[in-house]
Chain A
Amino acid sequence: MTGPAKRIRTPLGETGTAGLRSGDLILLSGTVYTARDAAHQRMAERIRRDEPLPFGLAGQVLFYAGPVPAAPGRVIGPIGPTSSYRMDPFTLPLLERGLKGMIGKGNRSPQIVEAMKRCGAVYFAATGGAAALYAGTVKRSVLIAFEDLGPEAVYRLEVEDMPLVVVNDCHGGDLYREGVERYRVQSL
């Protein structure tokens, strides 16, 4: 694991995700969509009612994040990952509709890890609490849905060389498990 960072660009095709392995360092460029708890709930409702989503999911990447409001003259305020497990109950139908990547932090449920393998999707982690740095990788930001949700609205972001790590690849690799196994001290 680790080595020089791989540069990848969204949207991610299936071939794009197959080459990624847990522990890979990534510099991601292209479009990503922010969506956290409340936006996921809204998307789930739309899917249940057979209504269109605010953006097409095929090959796309979601960033579990709610930014700080932008100061005047800035593209965006500080932005970084939120805990991903809270999105697990809403994620299966999104993967089934072609979602290929998710950026967050922390554990995913076994069901979602399985579904990612089946759907050829990848889970990336961003460094939590490094939001001033991540804001610098966002070149454009457009609010595209659920404005009333405030920090939980959906933004389309154009990012450049966003530093990420592959946690769950689509072959069953899991950096959280592998990393802890390597460094755990058994005797204590």
Chain B
Amino acid sequence: MNIRELPTQTVTDTVARLCVEANFFLGEDVLAKLRDCLEREESPLGKSVLEQVLGNAAAAREKQVAMCQDTGYAVVFLEIGQDVHFTGGGLMESVQEGVRRGYQSGPLRKSVVRDPLRRVNTGDNTPAIVHCEIVPGDRVRLIVAPKGGGSENMSEVKMLPPSAGREGVMDFVADRVRRSGPNPCPPVIVGVGLGGTFEKCAFLAKKSLLRTLGEPHPDPYYAEMESELLERVNALGIGPMGYGGRCTALAVHVEAHPCHIASLPVAVNIQCHAARHKEAVL
């Protein structure tokens, strides 16, 4: 068995860099979807919003500044190869240190309070949320996904009865988007987690947001459900920024997981058009 050593300093440096890059450089897949929408949008106000959003992404890239003032809560996904041995300090602390440095050097906004009720800003955007998975191999895949509060606040988990079925899930998802209206800065990406347990479906919904836009679900059953849901959501008429229009969502992503015979958990995680995630493999 070959164990590969990886200094945690490399993790810190990479996390810091990805925090900044995610906030400065909107992904090509998102830009392509926004351009598609601009072509299809019928509402004049909607078109002007999409032009602004695209112009903003270009300005952020050129000036090397954050595209949105809400530079997010840092959500970090680690896929750790089981043959990796981290050296030079604690892995978790090295991730936090990376977030601290990235948000300081950006500069990015510090948007985290230490306690949900006593609400004092931590001043360095830590702690990050870290999700770890152990996978085969000797590599580490690291994804930084800063998440804005406006769209996160429009997200929801619901424990449906199994009898609700596909229709019940579709109704809940469409209704969640309808009730969100203009609040999450549409056009949005709708992340849907299906099955698992209460916490698992929320995690799946979040994880589905990392999928490249335009890539359908590998299972044709869910790929069809995604496109049907997208059509339903866009029929709501909410449009860019909620001013009315054809383009309410850029995509709907569904991730499913086995679940209990008694349950049909469903989570909707709403992601705004500032859909930020950057990754590296170490």
Please give the distance in Å from B146's CB to the nearest CB on chain A: 12
Give a binary string over B238-282; 1 marks a CB under 8 Å from any A CB, 0 the rest: 110111111000000000000000000000000011100000000
Write the chain B residue with the least CB distance to A85: B183
Residues of A within 8 A of B244 (CB): 175-176, 178-183
A68 within 8 A of B: yes
Residues of B contacting A: mostly: loop
Nearest residue, chain B, Cβ from A107: B181
Interface segment out of the listed B42-50, B83-91, B92-100, B197-205: B42-50
Nearest CB of A to B178, in Å = 9
Chain B residues within 8 Å of A78, by CB: 60, 65-69
Chain B residue nearest to A187 (CB atoms) is B235
B150 & A180 in contact (Cβ 8 Å cutoff): no
What is the CA–CA distance of A67 and B108 in the complex, to the nearest angstrom? 9
Number of interface residues of A (CB under 8 A): 50
Q: Would you call A165 an interface residue if the criterion is a C-beta within 8 Å of the partner chain's C-beta atoms?
A: yes
Segment among B11-19, B51-59, B127-135, B158-166 that sits at the interface with chain A: B51-59
Give the contact-size bracket for chain B. 35 or more
Interface set, chain B 161-188, CB cutoff 8 A to A: 181-185
Nearest chain A residue, comparing its CB with the CB of B111: A151
Q: A38-B119, A181-B244 are in contact. Are A68 and B71 (CB under 8 A)?
A: yes
The tally of CB-CB contacts under 8 A between chains A and B is: 170
Whether B52 lies near A133 (C-beta < 8 A) is: yes
B81 within 8 Å of A by Cβ? no
Q: Does B156 contact A (CB under 8 A)?
A: no
Does B56 contact A132, Cβ atoms closer than 8 Å?
A: yes
With contacts A132-B56, A165-B243 taken as known, whether A68 is within 8 angstroms of B45 at the C-beta atoms is no
Q: Which residue of B lies closest to A22 (CB)?
A: B243
A67 to B71, CA, bound (A): 10
Q: Does residue B106 face the partner (Cβ distance < 8 Å to A)?
A: yes
Interface locus among A48-56, A90-98, A109-117, A121-129: A121-129
Determine whether the beta carbon of A83 is less than 8 Å from that of B45.
no
Report yes or no: B182 in contact with A105, Cβ–Cβ below 8 A.
Answer: yes
Shortest Cβ distance from residue A31 to the other chain B in the assembled complex, whole angstroms:
19
Q: Which listed residue, A105, A127, A149, A185, touches B150 by the CB 8 Å rule?
A: A105
CB contacts (< 8 Å) of B49 on chain A: these are 127
Given A66-B109, A71-B65, A83-B153, answer yes or no on A128-B241 (Cβ-Cβ < 8 Å): yes
* A133 and B55 contacting across the interface, CB-CB below 8 Å: yes
Q: Choose among A127, A133, A150 the residue that contacts B110 (Cβ–Cβ < 8 A).
A: A150
Kindly supply a per-residue 1/0 record for chain A positions 157-180, scoring 1 wherever the CB is within 8 Å of any chain B CB and 0 otherwise: 000000101000000000110111
Query: Which chain B residues in 108-140 approach chain A with CB under 8 Å?
Result: 108-111, 119, 121, 123
Given contacts A68-B106, A68-B109, A183-B42, contact A128 B239 (CB under 8 A): no
A129 adjacent to B236 (CB under 8 Å)? no
A167 to B81, CA, bound (A): 51
What residues of chain B lie closer than 8 Å to A20, measured between beta carbons? Answer: none
Q: Which residue of A lies closest to B242 (CB)?
A: A176
Q: Name the residue on A nearest B66 (C-beta).
A: A78
Q: Are A2 and B231 in contact (CB under 8 A)?
A: no
Pair A127/B65 contact, Cβ less than 8 Å: no
Query: What chain A residues lie within 8 Å of B231 (beta carbons)?
Result: 188
Closest CB-CB distance, B209 to chain A, in whole Å?
Answer: 15
Q: Which residues of A contact B (CB under 8 A)?
A: 1-2, 23, 25, 38, 65-71, 77-80, 82-83, 85, 105-107, 125, 127-133, 135-136, 149-152, 163, 165, 175-176, 178-185, 187-188
What are 11 residue pairs bridging A and B, where the CB atoms are less than 8 Å apart in the complex? A66-B109, A82-B149, A127-B53, A129-B185, A133-B52, A133-B55, A176-B182, A180-B244, A182-B237, A183-B238, A185-B237
* Additional A-B contacts beyond A106-B183, A130-B52, A130-B67 (9; CB < 8 A): A66-B111, A130-B56, A132-B60, A132-B67, A133-B56, A180-B236, A180-B244, A181-B244, A187-B235
Shortest 4 CB-CB contacts between residues of A and residues of B: A179-B244, A184-B237, A183-B237, A128-B185
